[in-house]
Structure 1
Amino acid sequence: MACTSIFYYVNTLGYEYFSYVGNQEFMLDDIYKSTALCQRYYVLGHAALIHGILAGMNYPQEKKYHVYAPSMSNLLLGISVVCLPLGYLFSKIGSLNQFSIQLNGLSFVAGSIALAFAIRENKRVNFLASTGLFILNVMAALSSGFKEPIIVCVLLLGVFLLPVYGKKVLPVLIPILILLFFVLPTFIGNFRKLSSEGADATVARNKSIDRILNNDNLTDDLQEDNWAFLTGRLSEINMFIKYTQSTPYYIPYYKTNLIKNAIQTIIPRAFWPGKPDVEQMVMDRVYAARVVDRESIVSAKPAFIVDCYLSYGGIGIWIGLFLYGYIAQNLSALAERMFGGYFMGTAVMFAGLFQILWRGNSFEFIANAVFWSLMTMMIFQMYFKAKGILYKTN
């Protein structure tokens, strides 16, 4: 966010890519002042986040456990194979639905890394099974309505293939990632439009792919959709500006109210039948700031840095993003201690269970996801110890 808001600024100057086309929308007189203000907040948040990560670093971590795995590809493949159907099953059970998110995330990460290890260990059966799982995970990611899971899926595979093939991976990986960044905004836009019209995820996914493959004006559509993505969703600075224009001038700072809301979301609905709808709770402040209209079907949840601002302004951004980095770093270190080191702890468990920390979200969704990811990680450690996969050092 600290860097990508440059596209929004260029757009306000009337440019689209490198061509001057004039402003297509009305721009307020103070748009440049507002853009600069939010850009400073982004840079402040970035600095606070990095300071939090650095403050949380305490290496080397004490190794309390070792992983017993004669074949790492077997272990990772097993984790992915078990978590995938469990995630689907739990998604159909109301009281266990929360765990489905964590299990699907772990299956997705473990399966991607398992494919890399199957190639490294030269195991044909594992390679075929991992490839099948990777394709299933990609198809599931395409049905999620989000760009990040698809990009992360490919990125993880590329990162873990680097030790096997070295820099030979980069000429393939980099063009694929660029292609995904270029095509996904159009695909996701089509997918969400079809979903809003009542199509289920599979139908919306297939039709979205078909529209891209059979579009005679594909280049023009991709350019238009990508410019909208670069200037809007990539940094979300346009929405941030609207929040800074309404708070604290018309809407007072929320102070600790958003933190209280976040704590409430952790309580399972089975224990609190009258628990408020989290989506509606978050969207209330979106509507109050007039970021989107109440009649709109768009979900425009505020980013973490925006919730920090809405709570206490600039000081809220500094404190909130510092704690974000500090907590994320400590969770990563905890995973390393619990699972015998960086690879199984951070690369697999932390990356699989705490994916929400990669891209952020509003207070309520982050608090809920982080808490239940922590619970899931503890359950996995108990299971691994019971099965002898983890054993204590002497």
Structure 2
Amino acid sequence: MGGKGIERSILLFVPWGMATLFQSDALLSYWIAYLGSFVIFALTLTGWVRAIPDDRPFGEQLMRPLFILHIIFAGYMCCTSVFYLLDTLGYESFVKLPSTILDKAKLASVAQCQRYYCLAHASFISGVLMFMKYPKKKKYFIETTAIADLLMKVALIAFPVASLFMRLPGLSQFYFQFSSLSFIAGTLALAFAIPLKKAVNTLICAFLYAFNFYLALISGFKEPIIISIMVLGIFLYPNYKKFVLVVFLPLLFVCFLILPAYVNSFRATAWSGDTDADDAAQQSLDVALEGGNDNWDFLVYRLSEIDMFITFTQSTPSAVPYYGTQLLKQSAIVVVPRVFWPGKPITEALVMERVYNAGVINRLSNVSAKPAYVVDAYLSWGAPGIFIALFLYGAIAQIISIKAEELFGGYILGTALMFSGLFQIFWRGLSFEFIINSVFWSYVSMLAIFQVLRSRGILKKV
């Protein structure tokens, strides 16, 4: 990044600085930080801070970190807390309740966490922009005519490989990598097959997509459903721009409206053990479409993670000191596969210990409440920790994306397939132990797949 780009990147921190300056007015401070994230989106996605790479048309590079990772990760982290704020101000289902007594201390905590989110957003995208320089010359290439078939083969092979890892003791963590890779490969293959009018490929890939969408529906989580629709729309966009804009954007909006009710109903029905997943999905879909479930609690407490973040900020550092490098040391332990260390501490137990220490949930509770990446950054070193950890988050994601394109001959196999498939955990921003472990072994998997494709002559050196 040149001098001008660095100067403009510094301006991304202005919303956080202004929000901090006005922190004595909690509501004003919140809105400055909240709207500041939209300013950051505007300045970066338009290419004002640093020019968008010109090696491909805009619509054909949407899977790069600047776009989909940025929108999903930062958008979820920074833009979903508004419902929690409204609830704090005394609103319910967007209606102000009479005789509401404002909790000023809670409002101040909401504003504080939103300022941390704004700082995290600016730091993260600065890391992406700092290293966003894709190579003009390719080191490896694959025949263009072979890409569509290769994508379908990857989808068909990756799924049974994922299932195999799930059954091997100590190696189940690789299941999630290859399962995600199979989904991305199948969806990308479908987007390739349709315009090429390859009937067999289209039929097989459509079946794979439908099967993955079904798994998303019965997962009990909203993210896989939204991602399934979003990814297909992004892959179809270069060839069917109007269709995607007219169909997929409204579809995503509808999902946002009905998924809270669907997920709430599905969990209550299927997870009780009284109803199988198929019947629960059908019943929950009926409930969601009929509007028979109130979404407000979902929007306030489950769509955003700010409630948990507030609890952590209230205990650290006042009651629980900053963790320093402890979480990084625990992450190094987690990286060792259990197959080589059967007695390795359970990752979930390591993560939950700080949840219990903060009083987020009781030790006797059977609930899981893992902190987000930004929360772990705060717990480690406070605001400076957020700046450093989130900058590294963006920088590492961007560096891996560039490496993937270097190894696999460009954007299609590099970023769209390998980076989006193996490193989808970047979209979610989980706890340090989970994210560091997954990224490390996903990188190893990427290098192994590269060697396989090179040895079989599929990837050729320029």
Q: TM-score, normalised by structure 2?
A: 0.79
RMSD: 2.0
The sequence identity of aligned pairs, in percent, is: 48
| Shift in CA distance, 211/294, structure 1 to aligned 2, threshold 3 Å | farther
1:145-201 alpha-carbon deviations (Å, 9 max, x no partner) = 3322221111111112122222122111112212222232233334444565357xx
Q: CA deviation at 1:88?
A: 1.4
| Shift in CA distance, 213/39, structure 1 to aligned 2, threshold 3 Å | closer
Is 1:309 paired with 2:385?
no
Q: Within 1, Cα distance between the matches of 2:326 and 2:165?
A: 31
**What residue number does 1:47 align with?**
122
**What residue number does 1:206 align with?**
278
Residue 367 of structure 2 aligns with an amino acid whose one-letter code is V
- Counterpart of 2:460 in 1: which secondary structure? strand
Q: CA deviation at 1:212?
A: 2.1
1:78-105 alpha-carbon deviations (Å, 9 max, x no partner) = 1101111221122111133222111100
Residue 185 of structure 2 aligns with an amino acid whose one-letter code is A
| Shift in CA distance, 260/320, structure 1 to aligned 2, threshold 3 Å | same
Is 1:251 paired with 2:320?
yes
**What residue number does 1:356 align with?**
425
- After the TM superposition, which residues 214-253 of structure 1 pair with which residues of structure 2 at under 5 Å, given as runs? 214-215=286-287, 218-221=290-293, 224-225=294-295, 227-253=296-322
Deviates more, 1:227-236 or 1:308-317: 227-236
**What residue number does 1:299 align with?**
368
**What residue number does 2:179 align with?**
104
Q: Within 2, Cα distance between the matches of 1:216 and 1:140?
A: 18
Q: Which has the bigger relative contact order, CA under 8 A and spacing at least 6?
A: 1
Q: Within 2, Cα distance between the matches of 1:30 and 1:194?
A: 37
1:124-151 alpha-carbon deviations (Å, 9 max, x no partner) = 1111101100011112223433322221
Deviates more, 1:314-323 or 1:152-161: 152-161
Between the two proteins, the alignment pairs up a number of residues equal to 386
- After the TM superposition, which residues 132-151 of structure 1 pair with which residues of structure 2 at under 5 Å, given as runs? 132-151=207-226
Q: Are the equivalent residues in 2 in contact too, given 1:112–1:134 (CA < 8 A)?
A: yes
Q: Are the equivalent residues in 2 in contact too, given 1:61–1:336 (CA < 8 A)?
A: no
1:193-250 alpha-carbon deviations (Å, 9 max, x no partner) = 4565357xxx6532331222444994140xx23x223222333111111000000000
**What residue number does 2:154 align with?**
79
Which of 77, 80, 98 is residue 4 of structure 1 equivalent to? 80
Residue 81 of structure 2 aligns with an amino acid whose one-letter code is S
- After the TM superposition, which residues 139-288 of structure 1 pair with which residues of structure 2 at under 5 Å, given as runs? 139-194=214-269, 196-198=271-273, 204-215=276-287, 218-221=290-293, 224-225=294-295, 227-288=296-357
Which of 81, 85, 92 is residue 16 of structure 1 equivalent to? 92
Which of 150, 160, 165 is residue 90 of structure 1 equivalent to? 165
Q: Within 2, Cα distance between the matches of 1:171 and 1:296?
A: 46
Residue 329 of structure 1 aligns with an amino acid whose one-letter code is Q
Q: Which structure 2 segments of 5+ residues have no match? A: 1-76
- Counterpart of 2:365 in 1: which secondary structure? coil
Q: TM-score, normalised by structure 1?
A: 0.92
Q: Within 1, Cα distance between the matches of 2:136 and 2:218?
A: 38
| Shift in CA distance, 194/265, structure 1 to aligned 2, threshold 3 Å | farther
| Shift in CA distance, 195/252, structure 1 to aligned 2, threshold 3 Å | farther
Q: Within 1, Cα distance between the matches of 2:169 and 2:119?
A: 40
Deviates more, 1:290-299 or 1:40-49: 290-299
Is 1:124 paired with 2:199?
yes
- Counterpart of 1:272 in 2: which secondary structure? coil
Q: Within 2, Cα distance between the matches of 1:319 and 1:22?
A: 44
